Homo-oligomer: A and B are copies of this chain.
Amino acid sequence: MFEFTLQHIDATTGARVGSLATPHGVVETPAFMPVGTQGTVKGLTIEQLRATGAQMVLGNTYHLALRPGADVVEALGGLHRFSGWDGPILTDSGGFQIFSLAANAKITEEKAVFRSHIDGRLFELSPERAIRIQEQLGSDIAMVLDHVVALPAEAEAVRDAMERSVRWAARCKAAARRGNQAQFAIVQGGLDEGQRVWCAEQLAALDFPGYAIGGLSVGETPAEMYRVLDFTTPAMPKEKPRYLMGVGRPIDIVEAIARGVDMFDCVMPTRNGRNALAFTNAGPVRLRNAKYEREERPLEADCPCPACKHSLAFLRHLFMAGEMTGPILVSIHNLTFYQRVVRAARDAIRRGRYAEFLADRRAIWSANGVESAENGTEDAAGGDMLDETTAQ
């Protein structure tokens, strides 16, 4: 029911093109998954989400377990039926949200105990509970519960969390009760090559159907992140999908693809879209800028999204006037843009020209990029409706 097929590996980079079959359909890789934290990608209908080109969506275990509750989602037929998204769904485990709650979470070998960001209610998440909830949600891919630490951190703290993550991965695997849900394990180990490689090997021995790289974009520089990928992906099973969690900017995605990563998720397209920052092939566009007041051109003339049927002047007006149509349209544009990036990457890999594609993207995006390595996983706060947090 799960099958990852590697179709082509680039000769000069580590970039790979492949396909991942799931019970709800096939995903072409490299793939970008929009984040549907609470059962919806913020501001988009299912039709609009599908039209962006998205093939697989991410849901957040922590958020859905708090609201409406895993039992409610299960009673309503699972997350596919509840949300209306009938394609593949991956759910995270809640590990990153525990991390983002930081001071309010207590982690022992048995479990994490923390207070809900909504009402302060005590909430427990063990590896077994994280899997149980994801089985209630009915996602196609469940993530194991991991222990994430902020960087920089003491070597001992990083090692302790990494080793716990390996033990928790084994417990998650043992807790699986469903045949139609695949579990992905998560490689931790901070910025340390020895720890990352050891962790990857330990998890490989447990034979999961897929592997993620966690604990990145949590305080380190982009260069450090790329360096970690340089030594981590080669230690991961070649024939299994590799998923870089919560990353990132367009440049991060094409850099990670060059290092053999197959899957991504990030809130940047929607979070930035709500705050008037649009991604384009020529670099980011800050739509509140007065220079667009009478600009007739669209964001990108060759983009098929509904935002690009409008002038920059109109999009700017929507933000200046506080119209929610602005956040909606630019979220759609950004999600469409991210899908266009991974599609272009797949095409470049198939044509054996990924190195040129990457060089071209570096030349433009490194000069005109959004400067951030902020992790683009939805944190416990879950993203306000009108979040003013930009990742600029």
Contacts and interface: CB of A to CB of B under 8 A. Distances in A.
Interface of A: 38-48, 63, 67-68, 72, 75-77, 82-84, 293-294, 296, 306, 309-311, 313-314, 317-318, 320-325, 327-329, 332, 382, 384-386
Contacts of A322: 384-385
A117 to B, nearest CB: 12
Contacts of A38: 317-318, 321, 323
Q: Give the number of times this chain occurs in the complex, counting copies.
A: 2
6 contacts: A38-B323, A42-B323, A72-B294, A76-B311, A76-B314, A82-B314
B45 A324 contact: no
A324 B323 contact: no
Contact of A293 (B72, B77, B317, B324): B72
A136 to B, nearest CB: 14
A386 B322 CA distance: 10
A40 B14 CA distance: 46
Contacts of A382: 321
A322 to B, nearest CB: 5
A169 B324 CA distance: 35
A269 B309 CA distance: 26
Given A76-B296, A317-B67, A306 B386 contact: no
Nearest to A313: B76
A191 to B, nearest CB: 35
Nearest to A306: B45
A328 B77 CA distance: 24
A68 B309 contact: no
Given A75-B294, A314-B82, A323 B40 contact: yes
